[in-house]
């Protein structure tokens, strides 16, 4: 049988060449994403920043097809929370994840589960029923404290929790008894306060800081809301993407227009069970109430220095706007990313003089990029770093540091303490609320 001779049709090149170009482009793009994601992950690994603060995605590598739909869906693209390494999606910047959950919704193969904590680092979450009530009848939890860092979810939980409070027996049971004390004026607490007003409940809302709670402390320009929500009294709020500043402005307008009452700079110190409800003790007084809604953040109360003069108004525990420190002498205390970012941002302001004080001998907890930025500002003389130093005393005109056994006074107009916060776990247990430590579980 004679051999079969086949001829190549040149017209096939019309199809083969474009397909080859597309395939090569795909491979190049995939390799580029791998390099970028690997670099971000390695930076965070070296800095020891691999433990998510709260709700976050767990990716099943056996199911993941590496399509990067989750990467594209993540609203925190600026922080590169998710990436693709070796053809699989991975959480490459865990500490920047705030639990949006958009990644899970975008995954076409259901390879993502939202979980609390990790195998090595547990996260304390109070046990709550479907109606948001804890094991202590009459005490409810909503929002970030319950693990819901996403603002839209926290707003919805605040409203639903107030529905549950309104169903309790004894509403309006006396002029000296509140129906509910709402602790916190973040997304959940603000929504709950509006719902309480809408339902004509006797309520008091106390907030130790400012309207917005944790949101108020986010960096400038941070994207904080990514979907519409139903806000009591107001109705549907059709934000698709909104920055921290715009959201706070909107809430301030709602506060003014509705007349919802919030008592600021008032911190809860204790909750005691009594006949018919609770007595909530704060820094300004006591409230007797049928129910309590805890809508506080997970960061708790800022950790203080405990030195003379710390009560002066120039001392704060977060950096909101670096421009306010233009032309001033500023001390930043701490060794984590928030401290380094605050110090270098203020050092960029014209005329500022910045000192960074840290009690240890190295910034081991900070990201490599922040350490590099710090080194550059120090080399250019815009910032002074004082390692192995502690604050001893604060006066209106200066601050005294102790370093190598010597007292060093420096001129000072403002102090930012970035020493973390005291988690509310102890407070919850003191009240009697059961807390479960989650190790990578829902």
Per-residue pLDDT reduced to its tens digit, 291-319: 999 998 776 677 889 999 999 999 998 88
Last-in-domain residue among 77, 92, 115? 115
Same domain, 140 and 210: yes
Residue 27 CB contacts under 8 Å (≥ 6 apart), including other chains: none
Last-in-domain residue among 58, 89, 115? 115
Q: Residue 84: pLDDT band by 50, 70, 90 thresholds?
A: very high
Would you say residue 68 lies in a domain?
A: yes
Residue 228: the pLDDT is 79
Six-digit token pair at 349?
């302001």
Six-digit token pair at 78?
């600026």
* Separation of alpha carbons 304 and 296, rounded Å: 19
Would you say residue 310 lies in a domain?
A: no
Residue 5: the pLDDT is 54
**8-state DSSP, 14:** H
Tell me what percent of the residues of the chain surpass a pLDDT of 90: 50
Residue 1: the pLDDT is 56
Would you say residue 284 lies in a domain?
A: yes
Residue 329 CB contacts under 8 Å (≥ 6 apart), including other chains: 352, 353, 355, 410, 411, 412, 413, 414
Ranking 43-47, 54-58, 128-132 by mean pLDDT, the lowest is 43-47
Residue with tokens 């919704």: 105
Residue 58: the pLDDT is 92
Per-residue pLDDT reduced to its tens digit, 216-230: 766 666 666 656 788
SS3 (DSSP) at 261: coil
Ranking 88-102, 105-119, 250-264 by mean pLDDT, the lowest is 88-102
Residue 146: the pLDDT is 79
Per DSSP, which regions of 324-374 are E strands? 329-333, 353-358
Which domain range does residue 16 map to? 10-115
Residue 219: the pLDDT is 60
Considering only residues 327 and 12, tell me which one the structure prediction assigns the higher pLDDT. 327
When divided into structural domains, the chain yields a total of: 3
Would you say residue 97 lies in a domain?
A: yes
Same domain, 127 and 206: yes
How does 379-394 read in b/e, with b if 16+ C-beta sit within 10 Å? Answer: eeebbbbbeebebbeb
CB-CB contact of 391 with 399 (8 Å)? yes
Six-digit token pair at 286?
């006591």
Handedness of CA 61, 66, 72, 73 (dihedral sign): negative
* Separation of alpha carbons 292 and 179, rounded Å: 8
**Torsion, Cα of 339, 340, 342, 347 (10° steps):** 140
Instruction: Output the domain CATH number for residue 370.
Output: 3.50.50.60
Burial degree of 438 (CB within 10 A; 0-12, 13-18, 19+): middle
Residue 240: the pLDDT is 65
The 10 Å Cβ neighbour count of residue 63 is: 12
Same domain, 259 and 326: no
Same domain, 267 and 144: yes
* Separation of alpha carbons 97 and 50, rounded Å: 11
pTM of this structure: 0.70
Same domain, 153 and 289: yes
Per-residue pLDDT reduced to its tens digit, 110-160: 999 988 878 777 777 888 898 999 999 999 999 888 776 678 888 899 999
Identity of the highest mean pLDDT range in 39-53, 119-133, 154-168: 154-168
Same domain, 328 and 204: no
SS3 (DSSP) at 392: strand
Last-in-domain residue among 93, 115, 137? 115
Would you say residue 306 lies in a domain?
A: no
* Cα Rg of the chain, angstroms: 26
* Separation of alpha carbons 8 and 30, rounded Å: 32
* Separation of alpha carbons 315 and 354, rounded Å: 15
Residue 33: the pLDDT is 80
Whether residue 53 is predicted with pLDDT greater than 70 in this model: the reply is no
Identify the CA nearest to 143 among candidates 185, 105, 178.
185
């Amino acid at each position: 049988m004679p051999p079969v001779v086949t001829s190549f049709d040149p017209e096939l090149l019309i199809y083969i060449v474009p397909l080859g170009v597309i395939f090569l482009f795909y491979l190049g793009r995939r390799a580029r994403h791998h390099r970028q994601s690997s670099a971000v992950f390695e930076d965070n690994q070296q800095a020891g920043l691999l433990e998510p603060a709260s709700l976050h995605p767990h990716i099943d590598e056996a199911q993941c097809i590496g399509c990067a739909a989750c990467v594209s869906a993540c609203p925190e693209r600026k922080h590169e929370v998710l990436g693709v390494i070796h053809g699989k999606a991975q959480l490459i910047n865990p500490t920047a994840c705030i639990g949006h959950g958009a990644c899970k919704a975008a995954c076409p193969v259901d390879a993502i589960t939202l979980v609390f904590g990790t195998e090595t680092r547990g996260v304390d979450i109070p046990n709550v029923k479907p109606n948001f009530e804890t094991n202590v009848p009459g005490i409810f939890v909503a929002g970030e404290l319950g693990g819901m860092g996403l603002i839209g979810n926290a707003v919805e939980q605040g409203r639903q929790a107030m529905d549950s409070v309104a169903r309790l027996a004894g509403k309006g049971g006396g002029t000296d008894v509140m129906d509910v004390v709402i602790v916190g004026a973040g997304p959940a607490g603000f929504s709950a306060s509006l719902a309480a007003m809408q339902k004509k409940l006797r309520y008091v809302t106390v907030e130790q800081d400012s309207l917005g709670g944790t949101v108020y402390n986010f960096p400038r320009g941070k994207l904080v809301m990514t979907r519409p929500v139903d806000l009591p009294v107001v109705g549907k709020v059709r934000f698709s993407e909104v920055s921290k500043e715009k959201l706070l402005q909107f809430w301030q307008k709602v506060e003014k227009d509705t007349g919802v009452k919030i008592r600021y700079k008032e911190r809860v110190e204790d909750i005691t069970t009594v006949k018919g409800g609770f007595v909530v003790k704060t820094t300004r007084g006591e409230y007797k109430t049928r129910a309590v809604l805890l809508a506080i953040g997970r960061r708790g109360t800022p950790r203080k220095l405990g030195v003379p003069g710390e009560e002066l108004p120039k001392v704060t525990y977060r950096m909101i706007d670096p421009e306010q420190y233009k032309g001033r002498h500023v001390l930043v205390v701490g060794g984590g990313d928030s401290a380094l970012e605050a110090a270098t941002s203020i050092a960029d302001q014209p005329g500022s003089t910045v000192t960074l004080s840290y009690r240890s001998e190295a910034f081991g907890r900070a990201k490599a990029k922040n350490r590099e930025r710090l080194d550059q500002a120090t080399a250019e003389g815009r910032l002074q770093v004082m390692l192995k130093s502690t604050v001893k005393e604060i006066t209106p005109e200066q601050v005294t540091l102790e370093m190598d056994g010597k007292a060093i006074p420096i001129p000072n107009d403002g102090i930012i303490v970035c020493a973390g916060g005291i988690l509310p776990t102890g407070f919850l247990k003191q009240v009697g609320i059961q807390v479960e430590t989650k190790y990578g579980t829902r």
